Amino acid sequence: MEAIGRYRILGELGRGAMGVVYRAQDTTIGREVAIKTIRLSEFTDDAERQRLRDRLFREAQSAGLLSHPGIVTIYDVAEEGDIAYIAMECVDGPTLDRLITTDPPDGALVLSLLSQTAAALDFAHKRGIVHRDIKPANIMIHEGRNAKITDFGVARLQSLQMTQAGSLVGTPNYMSPEQIQGHAVDGRSDQFSLAVIAYELLTGEKPFAAESIAALAYRIAREKPEDVHQLNPTVDWPVNTVLQRGLAKAPADRYPTCSDFAFALENACRSCRRWRPLPPGASQQMATVAGTPAPKLVPPARVTQPDLRDATPAPGSEAAPTPAPRFLRVLRLLTALMLAVGLAAALVITGLRYLDERRDAAVTAAVSPGSGTEDPGATGAPKPSAMPQAELPGDNTTGPTLEPQPDEPTSAVTTPPAPGSPPEPDETATPGTRLVTNPPGALLVVDGSSDLSCQAPCTLALSKGRHTLAATLDGYRRTLRILEIPKEDEIFLNLDRSSGTVMIRSEPPGAAIFINGDARSERTPAMLTLPVGRYTLDLVWEGRRESQDVQVKDAAITNVAIAFPAR
């Protein structure tokens, strides 16, 4: 193709499901533009084709009124032969999806691009225009830092083409639950799509993925995505809270505007020290690195003492030494120096611990009746004089010993607390975390340990830090939750009943639906969510009834198609 309308074709920019995108020049004013062509011949019915053409022109004209730096400007819409085309601003730069794979943006650029995109979407939403197809491929990056949304006015036609063909064009990873179920959409649908992009930018993974479009549609409509901090340990629970709200199934549960979402996400990310986004596929490696325990520092005395015991003879235990090579003398000197340092450290630590114990014992003796009269030997506990002392290898003499004075209550060191007195606090344990489920009775297991399990409602004493809580109950889906102790002292889990989706179609459409004899408000075509089990499905159309048994499986989609015989 050399030209279309008044535009001279300069080259091809890309191909899509509906046509080709060209770089072109407006021969009237010399401006370079991008031409998106749409093959109306894809629609075989003449009346339908005309209706869609009219809708395309109306949508493009409405989108042409959007003058915003974050939106690719539409200049013209026209038709030539069986091809409709839109002339729009030509942006020099990659799309966001290409940038993600070739040169992943850093944290500051990620937040900036999301904020710019959100502002542009809000601008359109205030004028009653919804994009309906927000995804990385429709966000252009100009000059490496400016986001521009493209394809306003085209997405609606694409959705109509999907309906006409009876199948989805491409993979709807970024569609909102209401959109994928065919319900009415508003600006909050675009916000959901923006939250999907944000999730992908932060973790390198899409929140919803499946091997088939039917399974993907189910997950978008019914399942909660994995917590973001499980995939990217550099971010914490505030980021997950913001993303989960942006990805809420019900539009009313999301943020009022896209900018509100972007602002909340930016604040949450900045609250995490050293956070960073992950490139595609990096979450698995990140999880492995994060799960590797840090190396522990070993006290020098414990490492060197066994070797030095063999290398250094006890004083006076050998005859006059024979002259040794110089390097042996240096080695012995270094050995003695290291030993002295280790001994000094051991003495200081031992002394401090002992003084702390004596101080605590004195307090216990003062507040516990009879604590000073008990015989330490009766309890079998070691006396203070039996405390291990650091000593030179091969030498029976010790450093200064910290012995209690005769007038001090030595038994207080090992006296057990009096009956009813509170136990000594554990620095790593918490008073207890209250665990509640709806419905109650779920088996709760923390960190996969049977020692940390109970039946809800219950209370578990958990150490400080991050834990994984698993809840299982017959008839309900297994639920996982990350706990932050001691940030959370009470956990409430709302369990989802095990259920599946039944997609019902009839020919002709509009049949009434009955499940086990009970009438439903929906008419075919319809998508129903039912608890796991076996059902009798009845469709009634113009007084005729067709029945079919349906088996609903957990997290599965069952397709039912019933055709009423012609009269």
Distance CA 196, CA 212 (A): 18
Distance CA 444, CA 476 (A): 13
Residue 215 CB partners (closer than 8 Å, separation 6+): 557
For residue 540 the two structure tokens come to: 């009634």
The candidate with the shortest Cα–Cα distance to 170, out of 97, 102, 105, is 97
Contact call for residues 347 and 313 (beta carbons, < 8 A): no
Main-chain phi, psi angles of 380, to 5 degrees: 75, 10
Tell me whether residue 542 is exposed, middle or buried, using C-beta atoms within 10 angstroms of its C-beta: 0 to 12, 13 to 18, 19 or more. exposed
For residue 465 the two structure tokens come to: 């830090």
Q: Give the containing element (helix H, strand E) for 354.
A: helix 326-367
Encode 107-140: b = buried (16+ Cβ within 10 Å), e = exposed: bebbbbbbbbbbbbbbbbbeeebbbbbbbbbbbb
* Helix, strand, or coil (residue 503): strand
**Measured between alpha carbons, how far is residue 12 from residues 114, 155, 247, 297 in Å?**
29, 21, 36, 61
Distance CA 558, CA 515 (A): 14
Distance CA 559, CA 528 (A): 11
* Helix, strand, or coil (residue 75): strand
Tokens 């959705």 correspond to: 159
| Bridge partner residues of 466 (DSSP) | 484
DSSP state for residue 415 in the 8-state scheme: P
Question: Got the DSSP string for 224-278?
Answer: PPPPHHHH-TTS-HHHHHHHHHHT-SSGGGS-SSHHHHHHHHHHHHHTSTT----
Give the number of other Cβ atoms within 10 Å of residue 335's Cβ.
16
The candidate with the shortest Cα–Cα distance to 490, out of 514, 458, 517, is 458
Distance CA 490, CA 483 (A): 10
Which residues are designated catalytic?
133
From the DSSP assignment, how many helices (H) and strands (E) are in the chain?
14, 22
Tokens 């990873």 correspond to: 173
Contact call for residues 144 and 136 (beta carbons, < 8 A): no
